[in-house]
Amino acid sequence: MPDGGDNVLDVRGLKTVFRTRGGEVHAVNSVSFHLKRGEVLGVVGESGSGKSVTMMSLLRLLPSPPAEIREGQVMLGGQDLLKISPQALRDVRGAKVGFVFQDPMTSLNPVFTVGNQIMEPLMRHKGMTRTQARQRAADLLELVGISDAANRLNSYPHQYSGGMRQRVMIAIALSCDPDVLIADEPTTALDVTIQAQILELVKGLRQKLGMGVIWITHDLGVIAGIADRVMVMYAGQVVEHGPVRDLFGNPQHPYTRALLKTIPSLTGKRAARLQVIEGQPPIMLSAPNACPFRARCAHAMPVCATQNPPRHAMDGVTLGQGHDVACHWTPEAADA
């Protein structure tokens, strides 16, 4: 667990919209969070909840148009990444923030060797010679568990298995010793054995390198095994956030509770039917002025249709430091 050191990343009030023929889609709505050195922040939610768009907005990776970052602040090393020049941002990408995408075959260039693709950021950001970069690339492949690394540098992406390609993507993301590693569902397409190996690899590297990790997934089992804190997203906003043990043991938002009930349980008894969350996430064609989960919520009250609940801290802890939730419902409110 992190020891409470300074934040390496601080995001405040991030808003991102997409301009479409049907109107503006409000994909990210006033998202705020922080990341400490050496910790793992898990980001969970259904497909379309805004997880990936939020993280790509941090590095301005979304095509513009149609995407537009309307508001917010993304502080990294004293710089606001939303305000620095494109050239300065290119220096941040890879050097200070590594990004691992979900499908390595769409991220790796099929016509260049794996070695060349690992060496490129080393020569660009670290000023290494080709010989130095090649040696470092071999060391990185060994670090991520690929044997015979010096020879495998000459291979092309299609000559690697899915798990090995994902390891290559992690090696590229780690090549310049970044302060932050963002992993966008990097194990979704892998079998459970390879997935477990990748998770152990990232946990080991987090401890060895002291970097902060943001792990995006829809798999709550993965989050339970790797994260220190969890951020639950729905309709482009954070609905609950807290330490992993607190959030799993005492979920407060009806959406978080519903997500946890969809996890299969292996108790030795006859398996119960898996629960589902009825309905569909909303299409956010306007800024949220009411609770976006109300149509699917068993605890919806009249106030949910007129006010979008702000995040508030649980147990008097400072907002963002402990367990907080964005919900009008409480047992006392229900009784009233």
> 38-90 pLDDT, tens per residue?
999 999 998 889 999 999 999 999 998 899 999 999 999 889 999 999 999 99
Pick from 212, 185, 205: nearest CA to 10? 212
Length of the chain: 336
Say whether pLDDT at 2 is over 50: no
For residue 120, pLDDT over 50 is answered with yes
Neighbours of 270 (CB within 10 A): 5
Chain-centre distance of CA 154, in angstroms? 31
Distance CA 176, CA 157 (A): 21
Quote the CA–CA distance of 265 and 221 in Å, as a whole number: 11
Q: How far apart are CA 232 and CA 253, in angstroms?
A: 9
User: Which of 27-31, 221-225, 264-268 tops mean pLDDT?
Assistant: 27-31
Give the C-alpha separation, 209 to 77, whole Å.
Answer: 17
pLDDT category, 3, cuts 50, 70, 90? very low
In this structure, of 142-146, 167-171, 230-234, 316-320, the range with the lowest mean pLDDT score is: 316-320
**DSSP E strand stretches across 217-284:** 229-234, 237-243
The pLDDT-based confidence of 334 (bands split at 50, 70, 90) is: low
Q: Tell me whether residue 207 is exposed, middle or buried, using C-beta atoms within 10 angstroms of its C-beta: 0 to 12, 13 to 18, 19 or more.
A: exposed
Higher pLDDT, 261 or 15: 15
Return the half-sphere exposure (C-beta side, CA atoms, 13 A cut-off) of residue 220.
21
The pLDDT assigned to 189 comes to 66
Q: Tell the residue number behind the tokens 């010793």, with chain if given.
A: 177
SS3 124: helix
pLDDT in the model for residue 4: 42
Q: Which two tokens stand for residue 326?
A: 């964005």
Structure confidence by residue, pLDDT tens digits, 278-311: 878 888 888 888 999 999 998 888 999 999 998 8
Q: How far apart are CA 62 and CA 82, in angstroms?
A: 12
Instruction: Please determine, for residue 103, whether its predicted confidence score (pLDDT) is greater than 50.
Output: yes
